[in-house]
Structures are given as C-alpha cells and as structure tokens.
Structure 1
Amino acid sequence: MASRPPSGGPYPPQVWQLGGAPSKSVDIPVTAVFLALFIGGAATHMTIFQRNKRRGHKFVLSLLLFGFCMARILTSVLRISSTALPRNLNLAIASSIFNAAGTLLLFIVNLLFAQRILRSLHPGFGWARPVSWAFKALYILIAATIIMVITVVVQSFFTLDPEIRSISRSIQLYGSTFFAVASFLPIPITLAALAAHHFRQPGKLGTPIEPLGAGPLRTKAALVLAASLLLCIGATYKCAVAWFDPVPRAQPMPDRFSKAAFYVMNFGVEVVVVYLYALGRVDRRFWVPNGASKRRTYVVVEEEKDEEKGNGEDSAAEQRDSVIMSRPGTARSEGSRTRDVDDVKAEWEV
C-alpha cells in the first residue's frame, strides 16, 4: 500500500513546476556539474577577496558573490538529495527555498554596480539623498519580498485549502514579477546615466564626474549590462511561466516546464554571471575608496601642510587639496599620482 502523507502535510506538489518530476538519471549528474562550477566560483571570488585584503584593497562585493556561490552550492546539494530521496519532502522544501532566494544576491550586486556608475558620472544626482533613499528602499523591498515568497512556498507544502493556495499563488506571482523588474532595473539605470553623460553640453557640465575603480567606463557598463540582461532573461522566463494557469500533475507536463529550461534559466545564467564578474575583475573596476558613503564622494581629498617656518613660531600653513586616484592593488604612498579635476574628467570620458 502506498504511504500517505502525514495529516497536516507536507504534501507533494499538486501542479507541475519548472524542472518537472525529479529524475535520478538526469537531475543528479546535471546538478553535480553545476555544483562543481559553483564550488569553483566560490573559491575564485574568495581568493580574489583574500588577495585584495592582503594588499589593503577592500572590496566587500567579492564576499557577496562568494556568499551567492555558497548558497547555490547548498541548493545543488539539497536538489541532489531530494532527487535521490523523493519521498523526503522536507528536502524538497529546503531546495525550493534556497532556489528562490539565491538569485537575489546577484540582483543586488548588479544594482550596486549600476548605482556606482550613476554616482561616478552624475555625482550631484547620484549622491542626492532622495536617490540614495530610493536605492535603500529598493533593497529593503527585495528583502521583504523574498521573506514573503519563502513563507508562502513553505505554506503551500502544508495545506490543501484551495483559498489559501490561491492566496499563496497570488503572492508568488507578485514575487516573480517584482524580481523580474528588479533584475531589469540596472539596464535602464546604466543606459540613462551613459546617455545623460554623452549628450551633456560641455558648457553645462555641472558637477565634475568622479573616478570609479580602474579601466575604461565602457567596460564597466558592458559588464553590468551583460550580466543584467542574462539575469533578466532568466527571471522573466520564470515569471512568464508562473503567470500561465497551473497544470495539474494528472495532465501531461507542458514543454515550458522542461528540465532544460530549468537548468538554463536558473543555474546556467547564474554560472555565466559569476565567472563573468570574476574574469572581468569587478573587484578592480568597481572599487571605491573606504568611507565613500560617509563622505558622499568617490574622490579622496588629502590636505598637505607646509613645514613649519620661522623662529619657533608656527607659520600660516597653506593647504593644498589634491585629488588622489587610488588604483586597486596599489598602496597609497608619497608616489601616488595626483591629478586635477580636468585630468580625471578626461580619463573617464565614455
């Protein structure tokens, strides 16, 4: 006699989901490949962070990318375990939770990169408090939304009530739509910043642009746009699939739920972004001086005073401000390059 689920759940899924039914011959080997890739990504970004740390070059976003890879490692392990033990629904629940939550770390990283480009090209606007508050509100909304989604995902395994399931589905649809929009936002932010800078009239330059990391700005923009486009494609596909009417498992599975779609739109695009950022050395290109948020500028201003002169009396010291372009991996010293604002603007032209 087939075993029945315990009273009150957890209950097996009643409708088809992206990826279809677990298959040991397909899911385990494919997931194992992605597991190895995410382990490599975690090791790469942690190595980059540690090497930079030893040079006094702090780039916390490398840790965030490492954290994303660790979350995906756990997701892969749980998926393999739940496939090998299909009757253990607790493993399936945990796998669904980590699968839903992991990608958000990449969304946040992309938004931070787009924000840094905006602040570099348009400091007066990018550092304005309303704009900063808008980004912070967006990050808070992302966190609140994933908490809501995780709650209803867990709830859907523990109820058969049609009304509760309908409410849970509505919240999941909101979450899928919101995440698709969040994955897309870095694209218009970056393009708008570049367009406004390109078409700005020389005579109305306004606030001078601020240096951001190393390398040409066009490369930074290309990295953000490419990563955002990949993540947006994946998030949009999952959102579109979610908006279709649910298909009961008693019916044949539609092609849109195929395993190929699951792995390409989930793990596939994420692995590409992880290694794109590692090979693109975002730790150098998007580095900003420590304390930039408090100073509300990426420009480091150092004041140098003349040596004391006279017969034991302090002379009036003249202060000289210089803009220091701190290069990643290069310690600040007396030999640091000093440039005026015109030099900085010329170097960072698109």
Structure 2
Amino acid sequence: MSQQAGPPYASPFAVVGGTPTSSLDVPVCSVFLAVYLGFALTNMTIYQLNTRKRHITFRPSLLLFGFSMARVLTMVLRIIWAEHSDNLRLMIASNIFTNAGILVIFILNLLLAQRILRAEQPHLGWSKALRTPCKALYALTGGVLVMIITAAVLSFYTRNTRTLKACRDIQLAATTYLFVFTTLPIFHVATAHVLPKSAAREPFGRQDTGVAMKEIVVTVASLLSIVGIGFKVGTAYTLPRLRSDPAWYHSKAAFYCFNFVLEIMVLAVLTFSRIDRLFWVPDGSKGPGDYTRLAQGSTGREKGVGLESLDKA
C-alpha cells in the first residue's frame, strides 16, 4: 500500500489495531456486532414501550439506540476492510466511525449529570451561568467532530509535511478537548453531592431510588469513558512509530479492549440500570420546580395510571 502512486496514501506509521485480518478480526468483530445489535434492539424496545404503553418519552434511549447502530456499522466496515485489506478508502471510513461514534456517549453522560445537578441544586443547575457554557460546549463538540473527520481524511490525501503536521495538531487538540469534555459529568455530580442540600431540591425519575443510585450510574459510565478517551489521548501524544516497529498499544488486544469492550461496559451500565426510569424528566422542563410540577401534570394524562403502577409494569 505504501507504494501506491496516487491518493489516498497509506501511512508508514503504525496505527492502533493495525490492519484487520479475516482469521482474527472477522470473528471478533462478528461477536461485537451481535452484542451492539442486541443493545440497539433492547434500547429501541424500551423506548417504544415507554412511548406507546406508558406514554412517557425518554429520548436518551434513542441516543443509545443510535450509538449501538453506529457501532454495528463500524463492525461491518471493519469486517469488509478485513476482506479487502488493500482498500485504503475502507480503512479511512472504518477509522472515522471508530473514533467518532463514542461522542454520543460523552454527550449523554453530561446530559444525565446535568439532570442530577438541576434536581439537587436547582438554582445553580438551571442558571444561565451554567446553561450557556454547556450549550456552547455541545455546539463545540459538533465542531470538534467535523475537525476530526476533516483532518483524518485530509492526512490520507496529501504528502505535504506542513499539512500533515497541521492535521496532527488538529487531532491532538480535538482529542484533548474531548478528554476534558468527558470529565465534566464527574464535576457536575461532585458539585451536586458536595454543596449543602438545597431547600428547593426536587426528586425526579419514575423510580424512587434516591439520588445516590443516579450518581453511581453517571460516575461509573463517565469513569469508563475517561479510561477509553485517556487511552486515545495517550497514544495520540506518543511519537509515531513505523508499522514495522509497533508498540503494545498498537496491538489488536489494546484496540478492542480500550475501544469496544469499555463501550459495551458503558452501554451495559446505562441500559441495565434502566436510566429511562432513573433519569426521566417531563418534557418542557425549563427551570427550578419544573421536574415536580410538570411530572404531576403528566401523571394525570397517563390514562389514569400512577407512577407507582408504571414502575411495576
């Protein structure tokens, strides 16, 4: 591949996971594909049951479904790449999906952490001083995704040293930003937990488990995400090594464990803890008191079914 005359050009440096092979990567990716597909079906089922039978909308379940389906496509691309290992365009597409898909989980962790802070410290959690920066961060995350994809694709279509250096700098900056972004849920949960209890605090969710369980779910999911993005940051900042001299972190074991195994653990935590029960808030919540006031109104619209009955369903 390195002798190809025209673009895209193969990189002479080792990459995490290396080039997939039919004998090893196809069976492994097939297993991961089945697991992600199972999570996709589970979360879509939860969403449909909540919407049609319980008349409750919980859009984060759609985010988990979308992420799982994106990972199904990631596995399909890697399997096809394994069967056509000399196809650089397949390699580019596979790497883009591998590195970009996890952003959905990062955003979801922060959304759930915000709900905890808004319930425990309403005047802080709903304040413009916090809401405005969070909205800016969400928008910036979308911009970072575009930067990552653009720099990744461009690096395969040029041999200009200055351009390649610029692409690497962009990727380093974007990865560092994502690492910082991934830590934000921890600070939200810590703030909600450490500050004195607010007199205006209000319960939320369809399952009365208290705030401790919610904090544990967000903290565990965020810590697992931090480990995954921390691995990517660490490998990004190390000096590139030739494909003939890869390091341990370029191995397939490191690739699958620090990417997909960790992601499946996060999916398991968020799905099996039933975040649709723990973190549900009524639509239209825009300020302090809305979690309680609007929840009471929505309960009355659920065909006379109380929250206690819903939790038993």
Whether the TM-score (by the shorter chain) exceeds 0.5 is: yes
Report Cα offsets for 1:5-63 as digits up to 9, x if no partner. Answer: 252x0111221111123222221111111111000000000000000011211001100
Amino acid at match of 1:239: V
Report Cα offsets for 1:199-235 as digits up to 9, x if no partner. Answer: 44xxxx45x1022102221111100000000010010
User: 1:324 touches 1:336 (CA, 8 Å); kept in 2?
Assistant: no
User: 1:223 touches 1:280 (CA, 8 Å); kept in 2?
Assistant: yes
What residue number does 1:35 align with? 33
User: 2:117 touches 2:192 (CA, 8 Å); kept in 1?
Assistant: yes
What residue number does 1:209 align with? 201
From the superposition, tell whether residues 231 and 325 of structure 1 become closer, same or farther in structure 2 (CA, over 3 Å). farther
Report Cα offsets for 1:90-114 as digits up to 9, x if no partner. Answer: 1111111111110000000000000
Matched, 1:24 2:17: no
Amino acid at match of 1:225: T
Q: Secondary structure at the match of 2:286?
A: helix
From the superposition, tell whether residues 332 and 99 of structure 1 become closer, same or farther in structure 2 (CA, over 3 Å). same
Report Cα offsets for 1:48-83 as digits up to 9, x if no partner. Answer: 000001121100110011000011011110011111
Matched, 1:227 2:221: yes
Aligned-partner Cα distance in 2 for 1:237–1:274: 19
- Report the structure number with the largest CA radius of gyration: 1
What residue number does 2:105 align with? 106
From the superposition, tell whether residues 325 and 227 of structure 1 become closer, same or farther in structure 2 (CA, over 3 Å). farther
Mapping for residues 1-350 of structure 1, pairs under 5 Å: 4-7=3-6, 9-54=7-52, 55-196=54-195, 199-200=196-197, 205-206=198-199, 208-213=200-205, 214=207, 215-249=209-243, 251-293=244-286, 297-300=290-293, 324=296, 331=302, 333=304
Q: Could you tell me how far 1:334 is from its partner in structure 2?
A: 8.7
User: 2:81 touches 2:90 (CA, 8 Å); kept in 1?
Assistant: yes
Aligned-partner Cα distance in 2 for 1:336–1:228: 29
Q: Could you tell me how far 1:331 is from its partner in structure 2?
A: 2.6
From the superposition, tell whether residues 242 and 336 of structure 1 become closer, same or farther in structure 2 (CA, over 3 Å). closer
User: 1:156 touches 1:165 (CA, 8 Å); kept in 2?
Assistant: yes
Amino acid at match of 1:178: Y
Aligned-partner Cα distance in 2 for 1:168–1:22: 24
Q: Could you tell me how far 1:151 is from its partner in structure 2?
A: 0.2
Q: Secondary structure at the match of 1:324?
A: helix
User: 2:21 touches 2:85 (CA, 8 Å); kept in 1?
Assistant: no
Report Cα offsets for 1:312-337 as digits up to 9, x if no partner. Answer: xxxxxxxxxxx83967xx93639779
What residue number does 2:311 align with? none
Q: Could you tell me how far 1:189 is from its partner in structure 2?
A: 1.4
Aligned-partner Cα distance in 2 for 1:221–1:230: 14
RMSD: 2.2
User: 1:18 touches 1:257 (CA, 8 Å); kept in 2?
Assistant: yes
Q: Could you tell me how far 1:149 is from its partner in structure 2?
A: 0.6
User: 2:20 touches 2:78 (CA, 8 Å); kept in 1?
Assistant: no
Identity, in percent, stands at 40
User: 1:326 touches 1:336 (CA, 8 Å); kept in 2?
Assistant: no
Report Cα offsets for 1:283-342 as digits up to 9, x if no partner. Answer: 0100001111378731226xxxxxxxxxxxxxxxxxxxxx83967xx93639779xxxxx
User: 1:326 touches 1:332 (CA, 8 Å); kept in 2?
Assistant: no
The structure with the greater share of residues assigned to helix is 2
Q: Secondary structure at the match of 1:17?
A: coil
Amino acid at match of 2:240: P
Q: Which moved more, 1:221-230 or 1:271-280?
A: 271-280
Aligned length: 305
Q: TM-score, normalised by structure 1?
A: 0.82
| Structure 2 residue ranges without an equivalent (≥5) | 309-313
What residue number does 1:311 align with? none
Q: Secondary structure at the match of 2:290?
A: coil
Report Cα offsets for 1:159-195 as digits up to 9, x if no partner. Answer: 1111111110011111111111111211121112111
Q: TM-score, normalised by structure 2?
A: 0.91
